Each structure stands twice: as C-alpha cells, then as structure tokens.
C-alpha cells in the first residue's frame, strides 16, 4: 500500500477557501436574504432552548417549522461571542465542510486523488456556492448539502462492502443532514443517493465482467438482487432517521399545514422573459460550467455514471423554472408553486463539480493538454486555459459584486435607537411593524422582545390576512402590489385587532397611506427612522395564546440535533483523525479501484464542445446586442419617451434633462428647479408600474406621443396620460420640454398665525402607571348622521361626525353590522373616507366599507397585476339590517393643518373643476377631497374620496377635475343614531348635554347644489397630508 500523502491541492483549496470566503463573509452575509432569519431563530434558541413557541413574529409561531441544528449551533456559539459571532463561525464551518465534501465527492466519483483535488479547488470558486453563501445566505442548506457530500462515500462503501461500520458512518451523517435542512436529505435521496446506488451496482457488475462495455442489463440485475438487502437496509434506516430526527417538524407540518398561497419567486420565472431572474437563478450559478456542458453530459452519460447522468439532466431541467413547461409538468402544480427551483440548479452545479474537476485536470496536466498541444499548438492551449481561468475569476468577481451594484437590501440600519425606543416608556406593550427594513427586520426582532405582526419566515404564518396573500413580508409590501398594499392597509386600518401601535418607517413611500389611515408621526429616531403611532390601541394582554406541544416533542427538538452531531463525531472521529494526521493508513476507498485512466481524449467531443462554446458566445453576444438596442435611449421616439420616464421614476433628473431638446435652452439648473418644486403623490411617492407609448403622428423629424402611465402609489393606482412633442436633432430624438406654470404668489414674505398644541404625556416621571391627573380626558364627539347603505352590491356605513369639544381630536370609528336577529356579521374601521384629525367644532363625513380578507376562498383567482386600491368586499352570510358605531376621540396635537381653500369651482361637461389654494405655511403634499352626496331633502347618501396627484405649494393653486358618481344604484337600508356610541357613551346623551340647541340648517346651507344622478347636493371637505412639516 502506498504511503498516503497529504493532497496538496486540497490543502491549497482549504487555504484559499478559508481566506477568501472567511474574510468576505463579514461584508456579505449580513446583507443576504436569509442569514438574518437564521440569526433570529438562533436568538430564539439562545433565549428559550426548549420552548418552541415564539411570540415575536406573526402574533406567535412555532420554530418547529424549520430544522434546528444550524440555529441551535449559532445559539450555543452566541453564548461565547454573541449571535453574529455564532453566525460567522457557522458560515466558516460551512465553507470547510463544503470544500472537504466536494473533495470527497470528487474522489468518490472519479477515484483519482488528483482530480478530487482539482474538484475541491474549483468548489472554492464555484459561482453557485458563492451565490448561495454570499448572496442568499442559506446556511442550513450549505451545511446540509456539505454533510450529505461527506455521507456519499460512506454509503457507497456500505453498499459495496457491506461492513456495518460504513452503515453506521453513513447513517450518522444522514442524521446530521436531516437536522440541519429538511429538503436536502429528501431530494438528496432522489438526486444523489439513487444514482450513487446505481453507480455502486455498476461497479459491482464490472467486477463480474472484464470491461465496462460487457455490463449487460442481466449482469446489472444480478448485482441489484445481491445488493438489495443492503440498499433496503440503508434506505429504510435513513427513512426512519428522516422521520425521527425532526419528528416535531413533521407533526407540526401535519397539524399546521402551510396554508400560504404561493409567493412568486424568481426561480419560477421564464428566464428568457425576466432577464434578471435568468441571471440570478441560471447564468450566475452555472457560470463557466455552461461552457463545458457537453463534456459533463458526455461523461455523466457514460455507462458507469449513467444514473448520475439522468439525475444531472433532471436537475438541470428542473432548475430552468418557468422557461420550459417541463418542470411544472414533472413537479405538478402544487410542488412547483411551493418549491424554490433554484435549489435544483444548486444541486446540478454541485453534481457537475467532479466532472469539471476532471476536465480541469485533463486540460492542465492530462490527455486533453497533450491532445490540444499536438493538434492546435501550445499557444492555443495556453489561451484556452487562460480563457477558462479568466472566466472563472470574472464570474467570482461578478457574483461577489452583485449585491454591491444592485443591493437587494436597504442600507444597513442602526438598530440601537429602535431597540431603545421599544424598551422605553413601556412601548413594548404593543406590537410594532417595521416598514422598508428588508431582511434586516429579523435582526431587529432578534434584539428585542417586543412583538411584530410581520415576520420573515412565511411558512410559519398563521394570520389569514397574511397567508392568503402572496406577499413575502408586510414590510416590503410595495413590491408585491395589490396583495402587498392591500394586506398592509388591513393592518393599518384595524390595528386594534393586532395591538399594533408603532410603525418604524424606513421608506417614505408608505407615509401617505399611514397618514390617511389615521396614523401620526411621533418622532424621528437618531438613525433617521420615522416612528408613527396610532391612538386608541389597547396594549397587549398579559397572557397571549400559544399552541403548546407535548413535552417529549420539546425535549426531542432540543436534544436530538446535538445528539446526532455528537454521535456522528464519535463514530467518525477515528477516521477523521487518520485522514488529517496520517497517523495510520486509512482503509482505501473501494471506489479508488474504478478510476479511469485518462489516455486519449475523445476527438469528436473536442469538436462538439468547441462548437457549443462558440454557439454560446454567439448567443450571449446577440443577447448583449439586443440589450444595447433596447437601451439605446434616443434611437427612436418611443425609446426616448421610455428612457425619460425611467429616469423620472428613479429620480435621475440629470439623465432626464439630457433627453430634452437642447435647442429649447432649458438649463439643467432651471429644469432641476422646476422638478424640485413639484411635490405630490406622483412625484414623491409613486412607482411607475407600466408605461405605454402611442405615437399620434410621426414623420422623420418630429413626432407626437401619447404616453399612458400607470403609477403605483401607496393609496391607489394612478393612471395618467401625458402628451409629448418629440423632435429629431442630429440623429437623436429629443423631448420638447413642456410649458411651465408661470403663477407668482403675491407675497415674498408673509406671516401666519395659528394655534399649536402640546401634550405633556406624563408630567411626573414614573415607571408606574400614569398618574390619574395626567390622563387626559377624551375629547367629546357627536355623530350627526349615520346610515347603512348598499351601493353597487356592497354595504357601507356613511355619516357625519363633529368634534364638539374644545380640544383637537383624533377620531377612530368602528362599525359593526348586524342582521335582524342581532347576530354580528362583520366589523371594520373607517379608512381614508374621513378626516381623522379634527379641530374643535370641525365636522367630517365618513364612510366605512367592510373589507374581507382577500382571496380567502381558493376559487378566487389572483389578479395578474398590481392594484393597491383593489377592494375585497366582505362576504356576508346574511343581509345586514342594523349597525353599531363605536367612535373614540383622543387628544391630538399634530397634523392639524387646515389652510386649504377651495375656489374657481366650475361645472364642466365631465363633472366639475376647481382650484385648491394653500394659504398657510406648510406645503401640502397629498391633498384629498371628500365629496359627500346629499339627496333632494339634504340627507346624506354617500361619501367619495379623491386624491390629487400633485401637491399644493404655499400660496399657490392646484387644479383638480372630478367626475361625480351616479347614485342610481344606491339604497339607504337603515338610518339611525340609536346605536352610536362615543367614548363608550351613548350619542344621544352627548347631544342632549353638549349640543342641545343645534341648528341643522347650518350644515344644509353650506351644501353645493349640483344636478347629479340621483343626488341634488354635494359637499366638499378638504384634507391634506404634509410630507415635510416644518
């Protein structure tokens, strides 16, 4: 037996791997998608090891929804150096396990230590591994897969030799895999272990005949019969392990089946259509492997590797997502929508590594080298080698920099001010909600015991408001359109239901919806995060519901994972020692006997691979050219319009200005000035959703374009049509700048007086309950009208309310519908069909719609696009006939700006137009008009709202056009003030005491006569959101 020598390539691979990955994880891991989620889970175990229930996310969820080994390991390490230390340590361990695993897998497949060394070295630089670790941060997946790779040689040896020692080692490693990641062993069985068994049988069959060619199906079958007991033994034992090791997981999955509707994932896209998904989920993980695909297929489809070949082909195909219909057919609709298909690509590329290693070996020092040198000359060989090496390096750099150039996460947020805020003044007695935090929300949750309604592990969700929506998190709901904003709006409108009082906003996109749902700004923290609060939300009860599990499951969950590691350690330690220290020769792996000798590279293969590579380069080049053409901004009138709006959407005004006709002499500074003074929902809070350009007339030098745009705003979808004149000038198309409003306000400097309010909060500094005399009296409100109406098939409550107190009030109105038998049918709060902040004696109309949970019945089809104001009426079992109104007033001191006047009102063919005039000293960012419709008898019928797309600047005007509704389809079902309550007191008592001599004529005299469809009068109320109060 030859003396075993340390494999220098493996050492090199480990050395470089640890240096490269070990140092870069500190810059990448925290901005990955998943790493911080695992950190949060680890924090859970660090706090309560045996208790699987965590109250902090989703109003409570169980951590038994994810295998615990990696999380528990981080938790153990966190006792030494904190959570992040634990995470980085585990990541480093993952790197080590992966490189050694790749080495052993390479050795198993090729039987050649040198080739295995190359495999290990290539594994370090494989773009798929880099992406999984540095972009996705899938630590459990990496650990699970690496351990599986370590298990493969042991399984081979068990089946081949039948020594029980190998059964023990393989099963111990499988157990570790199971406890770190549940999907890996299940699919690993199918895609790695089955082909491995096939390979063992092939090898056994080869022992019976002289050459591989002589293996017939009959010989193979004989071997299969011989090995069947070993295979069965292994298969059944691993099945038992998979079930037992994470038994609580399976029980939990059965009892809480994932009711989540499928959440779109890029790996299911058509990669040709969605280029970004194709890049991330196909081009990057495959990387340079794409160029040697013919070689890999050729080798894997040789007789010995035939089963690997089939598995590899299947994985490759499944990894293409929605590009071809095959994955959907193979996996079935359900599995296709639940699984993220990128894992198939990951496994395919890992499986390809040994063959790629073999290719590298043969190119660098084997038969391919001599063949190329002989046939095409040494220079070509060097160029080819250099080219591939450059390709690998470029892929590494490209993959590592993906997050740098296109960050998937918002800037790193300092969490300390938020944590302090939650800890102070009993703020953690309520739930909070972060907005615009990205995956960093998990890091925030890990640092506080305060609870949120959101969360970052959607398989564990329980609230139907969330499981029925295809959104990842509420926190980034703007990216998921209708489902996202719709779901968020439900939480914002009825926060009492979830004890949700505080919102940390890191994205001003959400600000208008917060304001119009009745939230108010509390303070800006030192890290720039704006805290919003909602009044009238009760604190969390002292005892929260939880789903308990039997103690034996808790103990299993808390102990088994580490026991598997301990056991695997004990069983494998002896050989690991031999392997590392070479103190004693290790039993030779049987698979070493089946190494192929590399003499004579297949000539046609060289040709085929060359053709393939050239085709590939051609395709990439063609794709690149088209990319350029689509993005060459000024080649056609259409392109310049698209580019202009793209620039506006991303607020790149300098670029937008470059598309303006230079002959019109609009200087950049002038343009910037004009742009900067327009504020409003469209320019500050909207995302361009879609754009269509219609050319109304085009001739060689000029064109007129009608641009249909759809903008997603937090409040509603805005459709707007713009007209542009385009000119061709020097071979390029330009946009003729549109005229600008010349309006000049009369005063350069002016003063404005107003009443400002301040609420001390607790006058006495105390950690006890607030002192009796520091509790403010709730402002008294009076409901003036309330009606249950049915309009276009859905029920609403409309009415009017007045703040009859002497202090400003924040108003919350909750309505409940009842049928004739007094059974409750539905309840909801007023959303943005009212003014939530009222000055003394101010009135507001209101309308309460009863929203259901969207798509709660599975038959409903998901709308294909984005529509934030899409409304799902609640499904009522019976006809509501009565209602109850609960109004609550709370003292408010902010958002009381009332200086918006209405003038120049005109009735037009399509409705009415008018001008809003801002006479105060705050810029109104999003003006809102509330239109109340009245009957001939001046009875309230309906309330409608209208958001102006542009803001009203100080002392300036803003025009609006409004088309009144047709109310022919409106029925007033019930009109009564009997069941209206204010601050828990009956409304009638308030009327009697506070406003005994009301003049109803006052309200009626202020109505605007309007010849409408089934209504005679209108009233206009004005409300406005101020984006930047000064």
Partner 1 sequence: MLWFGCREADTENPSALISYEQMPLKSEFFAGDSILIHFKGNITDPVHLVVSNAWGSTVLTPTWKDNELTFRFPKAFGQRAGNCHWALVKNGIIYDKGEIFIRPNPKKGTAMESYLGPQSIIAGKADFSMFVTSPTDIYDNPLSDSTEIKYYYQRMDSAEQESVHLKNLIGWKNIHSTEKSGRILVTATCNHSNSKELSTLVNPANPVDFQIAYKRIHPYADGNQIITFSTDAILDEFGNIQSDGTLVSFSITDTKGRVLQTIGTTINGVAEALLLHPTEAETWKVTAYITGAAKSNTITVDFEAALKDFTLSLSENGRTLNIEEMQSFMGQWIPDGMPISISIHDEKGTLLDSKRTTSRLGKAQFTMSKDFYPNGSYTLTLELAGMNKKMNVNLK
52 neighbors 62 (Cβ within 8 angstroms): yes
Q: How far is the CB of 647 from partner 1 (least distance, A)?
A: 25
Q: Which is nearer to partner 1, 339 or 892 (CB)?
A: 892
d(CA 174, CA 515): 54
814 neighbors 886 (Cβ within 8 angstroms): yes
Q: How far is the CB of 917 from partner 1 (least distance, A)?
A: 5
Task: Check binding of 363 to partner 1 (CB under 8 A).
Answer: no
Q: How far is the CB of 954 from partner 1 (least distance, A)?
A: 12
- The residue written with tokens 């209602």 in the block is 883
Q: How far is the CB of 755 from partner 1 (least distance, A)?
A: 4
Which residue in 373, 994, 1012, 1014 binds partner 1 (CB under 8 A)?
994
944 neighbors 743 (Cβ within 8 angstroms): no
Which residue in 654, 993, 1013, 1029 binds partner 1 (CB under 8 A)?
993
CA nearest 352: which of 97, 95, 109, 100?
109
d(CA 62, CA 547): 8
Read off the DSSP letter of residue 585.
P
Q: How far is the CB of 39 from partner 1 (least distance, A)?
A: 48
Which residue in 760, 806, 857, 858 binds partner 1 (CB under 8 A)?
806
With 0-12 CB in 10 A as exposed, 13-18 as middle and 19+ as buried, what is 217?
A: exposed
Task: Check binding of 325 to partner 1 (CB under 8 A).
Answer: no
Q: Is 648 left (phi over 0), alpha (psi -120 to 50) or beta?
A: alpha
As given in the structure block, the two tokens for residue 667 are: 């200087």
Task: Check binding of 821 to partner 1 (CB under 8 A).
Answer: no
Task: Check binding of 1008 to partner 1 (CB under 8 A).
Answer: yes
Segment holding 17, helix H or strand E: helix 8-28
d(CA 626, CA 126): 28
Q: How far is the CB of 436 from partner 1 (least distance, A)?
A: 34
Task: Check binding of 995 to partner 1 (CB under 8 A).
Answer: yes
Segment holding 698, helix H or strand E: strand 687-699
844 neighbors 930 (Cβ within 8 angstroms): yes
Task: Check binding of 582 to partner 1 (CB under 8 A).
Answer: no
Q: Which is nearer to partner 1, 28 or 785 (CB)?
A: 785
CA nearest 71: which of 44, 51, 34?
44
d(CA 61, CA 53): 6
What is the β-pairing status of strands 843-849 and 957-962? unpaired
Which residue in 546, 732, 899, 938 binds partner 1 (CB under 8 A)?
899
Neighbours of 726 (CB within 10 A): 26
Q: Which is nearer to partner 1, 144 or 1024 (CB)?
A: 1024
* Helices (H), ranges, 271-427: 275-278, 284-286, 293-300, 306-318, 326-338, 342-364, 367-376, 378-405, 416-423
Task: Check binding of 843 to partner 1 (CB under 8 A).
Answer: yes
Q: What mask of x and - would describe binding to partner 1 in positions 772 to 801, judged by CB under 8 A? A: xx--xx------x-----------------
Give the range of 370-378, 434-442, 536-544, 806-814 binding partner 1 by CB under 8 A. Answer: 806-814
CA nearest 678: which of 744, 740, 747, 750?
740
Which residue in 716, 842, 867, 944 binds partner 1 (CB under 8 A)?
842
Q: Which is nearer to partner 1, 971 or 992 (CB)?
A: 992
Give the range of 52-60, 617-625, 846-854, 901-909 binding partner 1 by CB under 8 A. Answer: 901-909
Q: Which is nearer to partner 1, 675 or 896 (CB)?
A: 896
* Tally of residues, the chain: 1030
Neighbours of 354 (CB within 10 A): 30
Task: Check binding of 904 to partner 1 (CB under 8 A).
Answer: yes
CA nearest 571: which of 964, 196, 96, 166?
166
Neighbours of 6 (CB within 10 A): 11
Q: How far is the CB of 679 from partner 1 (least distance, A)?
A: 18
Which residue in 576, 1007, 1014, 1016 binds partner 1 (CB under 8 A)?
1007
Q: How far is the CB of 801 from partner 1 (least distance, A)?
A: 11
Q: How far is the CB of 705 from partner 1 (least distance, A)?
A: 11
62 neighbors 53 (Cβ within 8 angstroms): yes
Task: Check binding of 1026 to partner 1 (CB under 8 A).
Answer: no
Q: How far is the CB of 425 from partner 1 (least distance, A)?
A: 22
Read off the DSSP letter of residue 921.
S
84 neighbors 137 (Cβ within 8 angstroms): no
CA nearest 351: which of 460, 174, 206, 199?
199
b/e string for 363-380 if b means 16 or more Cβ within 10 A?
beebbbbebbeeeeeeee
Give the range of 84-92, 510-518, 870-878, 999-1007 binding partner 1 by CB under 8 A. Answer: 999-1007
What are 912's strand-pairing partners? 907, 962
Q: Which is nearer to partner 1, 613 or 1022 (CB)?
A: 1022
Task: Check binding of 226 to partner 1 (CB under 8 A).
Answer: no
| HSE (side-chain half, CA atoms, 13 Å) at 790 | 10
Q: Which is nearer to partner 1, 345 or 843 (CB)?
A: 843
As given in the structure block, the two tokens for residue 598 are: 């590399």
Neighbours of 883 (CB within 10 A): 25
Q: How far is the CB of 718 from partner 1 (least distance, A)?
A: 20
- Give CA angle at 87 (81, 88), nearest 5°: 85
- Applying the rule CB under 8 A, the residues between 699 and 758 that interact with partner 1 are 699, 702-704, 725, 739, 741-744, 746-747, 753-755, 757
Q: Which is nearer to partner 1, 816 or 991 (CB)?
A: 991
Give the range of 441-449, 821-829, 859-867, 895-903 binding partner 1 by CB under 8 A. Answer: 895-903
Q: How far is the CB of 699 from partner 1 (least distance, A)?
A: 6
Give the dihedral sign, CA 537/541/542/544: negative
d(CA 940, CA 725): 46
Which residue in 957, 972, 988, 1016 binds partner 1 (CB under 8 A)?
957
Task: Check binding of 943 to partner 1 (CB under 8 A).
Answer: no
Q: Which is nearer to partner 1, 581 or 739 (CB)?
A: 739
User: Count of residues binding partner 1 (CB under 8 A)?
Assistant: 65
Q: Which is nearer to partner 1, 17 or 808 (CB)?
A: 808
Which residue in 707, 1003, 1023, 1026 binds partner 1 (CB under 8 A)?
1003
Q: How far is the CB of 708 from partner 1 (least distance, A)?
A: 17
Task: Check binding of 808 to partner 1 (CB under 8 A).
Answer: yes
Q: What mask of x and - would describe binding to partner 1 in positions 664 to 703, judged by CB under 8 A? A: --------------------------------xx-x--xx
Which residue in 389, 896, 954, 988 binds partner 1 (CB under 8 A)?
896
Q: Which is nearer to partner 1, 180 or 1023 (CB)?
A: 1023
* Helices (H), ranges, 517-587: 551-581
Q: How far is the CB of 901 from partner 1 (least distance, A)?
A: 4
3-state secondary structure string, 484-516? HHHHHHHHHHCHHHHCEEEEEECCHHHHHHHHH
- The residue written with tokens 């290693």 in the block is 357
As given in the structure block, the two tokens for residue 64 are: 């038994």
Which residue in 217, 405, 758, 999 binds partner 1 (CB under 8 A)?
999
Task: Check binding of 901 to partner 1 (CB under 8 A).
Answer: yes
Q: Which is nearer to partner 1, 3 or 739 (CB)?
A: 739
Q: Which residues form the interface with partner 1 (CB under 8 A)?
A: 696-697, 699, 702-704, 725, 739, 741-744, 746-747, 753-755, 757, 772-773, 776-777, 784, 802, 805-808, 838-843, 896, 898-907, 917, 919, 955, 957, 993-995, 997-1000, 1002-1003, 1005-1009, 1020, 1022
């Amino acid at each position: 037996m030859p003396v075993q020598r340390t494999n220098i390539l493996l050492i090199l691979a480990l050395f470089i791997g640890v240096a490269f990955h070990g140092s870069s994880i500190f810059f990448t891991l925290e901005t990955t998608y998943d790493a911080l989620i695992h950190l949060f889970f680890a924090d859970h175990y660090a706090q309560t090891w045996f208790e699987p229930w965590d109250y902090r996310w989703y109003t409570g969820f169980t951590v038994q929804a994810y295998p615990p080994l990696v999380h528990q390991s981080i938790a153990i390490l966190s006792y030494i150096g904190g959570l992040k230390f634990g995470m980085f340590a585990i990541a480093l361990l993952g790197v080590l396990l992966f490189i050694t695993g790749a080495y052993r897998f390479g050795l198993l497949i090729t039987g050649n230590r040198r080739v295995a060394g190359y495999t290990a070295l290539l594994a370090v630089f494989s773009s798929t591994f880099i992406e999984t670790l540095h972009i996705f941060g899938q630590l459990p997946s990496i650990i699970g897969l690496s351990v599986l790779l370590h298990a493969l040689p042991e399984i081979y040896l068990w089946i081949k030799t039948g020594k029980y020692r190998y059964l023990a080692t393989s099963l111990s490693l499988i157990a570790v895999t199971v406890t770190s990641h549940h999907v890996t062993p299940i699919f690993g069985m199918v895609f790695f272990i089955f082909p491995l068994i096939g390979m063992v049988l092939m090898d056994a069959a080869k022992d019976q005949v002289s050459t591989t060619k002589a293996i017939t199906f009959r010989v193979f079958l004989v071997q299969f019969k011989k090995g069947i007991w070993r295979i069965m033994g292994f298969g059944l034992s691993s099945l038992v392990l998979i079930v037992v090791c994470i038994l609580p997981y399976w029980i939990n999955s059965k009892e809480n089946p994932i009711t989540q509707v499928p959440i779109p994932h890029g790996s299911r896209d058509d990669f040709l259509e969605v280029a970004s998904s194709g890049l991330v989920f196909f081009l990057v993980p495959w990387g340079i492997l794409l160029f040697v695909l013919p070689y890999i297929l050729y080798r894997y489809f040789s007789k010995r590797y035939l089963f690997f070949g089939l598995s590899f082909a299947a994985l490759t195909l499944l990894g293409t997502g929605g590009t071809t219909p095959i994955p959907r057919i193979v996996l079935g609709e359900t599995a296709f929508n639940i699984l993220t298909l990128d894992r198939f690509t990951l496994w395919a590329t890992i499986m390809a590594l040994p063959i790629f290693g073999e290719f590298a070996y043969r190119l660098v020092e084997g038969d391919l080298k001599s063949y190329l040198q002989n046939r095409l000359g040494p220079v070509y060989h060097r160029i080819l080698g250099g080219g591939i090496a450059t390709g690998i390096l470029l892929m590494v750099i490209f993959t590592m920099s993906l997050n740098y150039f296109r960050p998937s996460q918002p800037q790193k947020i300092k969490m300390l001010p938020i944590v302090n805020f939650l800890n102070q003044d009993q703020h953690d007695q309520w739930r909070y909600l972060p907005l615009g935090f990205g995956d960093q929300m998990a890091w925030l949750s890990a640092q506080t015991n305060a609870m949120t309604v959101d969360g970052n592990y959607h398989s564990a969700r329980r609230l139907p408001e969330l499981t029925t929506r295809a959104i990842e998190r509420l926190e980034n709901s703007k990216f998921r359109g209708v489902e996202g904003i719709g779901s968020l709006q439900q939480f914002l409108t009825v926060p009492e239901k979830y004890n949700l009082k505080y919102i940390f906003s890191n994205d001003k996109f959400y600000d208008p919806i917060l304001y119009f749902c009745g939230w108010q700004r509390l303070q800006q923290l030192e890290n720039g995060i704006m805290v919003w609060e909602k009044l009238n939300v009760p604190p969390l009860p002292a005892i929260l519901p939880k789903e308990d599990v039997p103690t034996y499951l808790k103990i299993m969950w808390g102990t088994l994972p580490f026991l598997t590691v301990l056991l695997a350690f004990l069983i494998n330690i002896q050989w690991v020692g031999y392997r590392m220290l070479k103190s004693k020769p290790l039993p030779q792996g049987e698979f070493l006997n089946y190494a192929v000798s590399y003499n004579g590279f297949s000539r046609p293969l060289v040709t085929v691979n060359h053709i393939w590579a050239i085709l590939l380069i051609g395709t990439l080049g063609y794709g690149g050219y088209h990319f350029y053409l689509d993005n060459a901004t000024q080649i056609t009138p259409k392109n310049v319009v698209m580019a202009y709006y793209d620039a506006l959407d991303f607020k790149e005004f300098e670029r937008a200005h470059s598309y303006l006709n230079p002959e019109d002499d609009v200087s950049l500074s002038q343009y910037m000035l004009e742009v900067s003074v327009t504020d409003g929902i469209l320019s500050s809070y909207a995302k361009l959703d879609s754009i269509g350009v219609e050319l109304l007339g085009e001739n060689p030098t000029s064109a007129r374009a009608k641009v249909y745009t759809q903008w997603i705003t937090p409040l509603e979808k805005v459709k707007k049509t713009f007209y542009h004149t385009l000119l061709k000038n020097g071979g390029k198309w330009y946009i003729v700048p549109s005229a600008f409003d010349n309006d000049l306000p009369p005063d350069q400097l002016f003063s404005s007086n107003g009443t400002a309010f301040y609420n001390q909060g607790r006058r006495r500094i105390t950690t006890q309950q607030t002192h009796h005399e520091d509790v403010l009296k709730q402002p008294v409100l009076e409901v003036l009208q309330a009606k249950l109406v049915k309009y276009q098939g859905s029920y609403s409550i409309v009415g009017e309310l007045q703040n009859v107190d002497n202090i400003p009030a924040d108003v919350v109105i909750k309505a409940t519908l009842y049928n004739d038998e007094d059974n409750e049918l539905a309840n909801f709060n007023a959303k943005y069909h009212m003014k939530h902040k009222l000055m003394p004696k101010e009135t507001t109309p209101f309308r309460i719609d009863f929203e259901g949970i969207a798509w709660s019945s599975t038959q409903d089809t998901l709308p294909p696009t984005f529509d934030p104001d899409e409304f799902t009426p609640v499904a009522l079992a019976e006809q509501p006939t009565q209602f109850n109104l609960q109004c609550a007033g709370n003292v408010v001191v902010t958002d009381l700006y009332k200086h918006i006047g209405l003038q120049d009102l005109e009735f037009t063919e399509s409705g009415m137009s008018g001008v809003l005039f801002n006479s105060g000293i705050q810029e109104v960012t999003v003006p809102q008009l509330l239109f109340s419709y009245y009957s001939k008898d001046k009875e309230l019928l309906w309330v409608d709202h209208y958001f102006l797309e542009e803001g009203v600047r100080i002392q300036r005007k803003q025009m609006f056009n409004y088309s009144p509704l047709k109310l022919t389809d409106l029925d007033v079902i019930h009109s009564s003030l009997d069941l209206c309550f204010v601050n828990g007191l009956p409304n009638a008592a308030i009327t009697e005491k506070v406003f005994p001599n009301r003049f109803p004529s006052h309200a009626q005299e202020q109505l605007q006569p309007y010849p409408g469809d089934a209504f005679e009068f209108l009233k206009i109320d004005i409300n406005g959101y101020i984006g930047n109060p000064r």
